[in-house]
Amino acid sequence: MLVIGTALLLGAAILVPLAYLAIRRANARRALAELRPSALVGMAGDDVTLSGVAVAGPNGVLESRLAGAVCVWHGHEVLRHFATWEERQGAERERVMGNDSIADHTSPELFGVVVSEGARPSRPLPLLVDPEDAHVEGVHMCLQRVIGRPQRGVPAPADDLLGRVKGRISGIFRGETIEFEYREWVIRPGDRVTVRGRVELREGHPVLVAPRDGRLGIALGGTEEEAPPAGAAGGVLLGAGAAAAGVAGLALVLVASL
């Protein structure tokens, strides 16, 4: 009886740390699935791919430069459409159309990502994304406007967008200008996004930035993953087994000692 009790106590001693580790790992997986910033602090320097819902960052909700749309990220581009003449056989010339980008800008403000729409953002800040020089795909186009060049004797079309363009307008300006095209894209609050980047700590808070060997990737869409059940069933079972073995072993040892 003493031998059995001692064996049960040893088994309980082995099961206790295993149960602790299982519960700790399950809680860590749950915290990561819920995009809690605390879960990513220990992943600083690692490349990750995370999906969640876009929310305002430290600067609050933004307004896009051209359309004035409410967003958490925005970018715009100006295209110059032009025509050139190319020589063909037989001394004929052919008019060839082309376009050049003469201005582009993306917002540098950080925005947040939470697990689902309506989720309470982490305090004081959610997981943040630094979109500087990010590769963005699939986002909403909120404006596309084409404005022709002024013609002699014809009233010039109103171009109220030129003054809103951020940055310097520059380019080769080949051929004959035909028209200018303004385009703008946004990520709206509540949009589900997938972000591929590297975890960086800024003043102790995790921020997703560009990986060392490429650009940060932001894509509209992604699947909402269910968080693992709270309290890790395996860890709870191990803990219950350790407690039962410990109680039984102690009882047997006490009985054998009488």
Q: Higher pLDDT residue, 1 or 228? A: 1
Name the residue ranges covered by the structural domains of the chain. 1-34+227-258, 35-226
3-state class (DSSP) for residue 19: helix
3-state class (DSSP) for residue 73: strand
pLDDT at 86: 81
If one counts every other C-beta atom within 10 angstroms of the C-beta of residue 169, the result is 12
Do residues 64 and 139 lie in contact, with contact meaning Cβ atoms separated by under 8 Å? no
pLDDT digits over 72-119, tens only? 999 999 999 999 888 777 667 788 888 999 999 999 999 999 987 655
d(CA 257, CA 159): 97
pLDDT at 225: 53
131: closest CA among 55, 196, 254, 216?
216
For residue 16, pLDDT over 50 is answered with no
Average of pLDDT values for 8-12? 49
Q: Higher pLDDT residue, 24 or 30? A: 30
pTM over 0.85: no
Chain Cα centroid distance, residue 4: 55
Q: Where are the beta strands (DSSP E) in 21-160?
A: 47-55, 62-63, 70-71, 73-87, 93-106, 111-114, 127-129, 135-137, 140-148
Do residues 58 and 194 lie in contact, with contact meaning Cβ atoms separated by under 8 Å? no
Do residues 37 and 200 lie in contact, with contact meaning Cβ atoms separated by under 8 Å? no
pLDDT digits over 142-195, tens only? 999 999 876 665 555 667 888 889 877 887 788 888 899 999 999 999 999 999
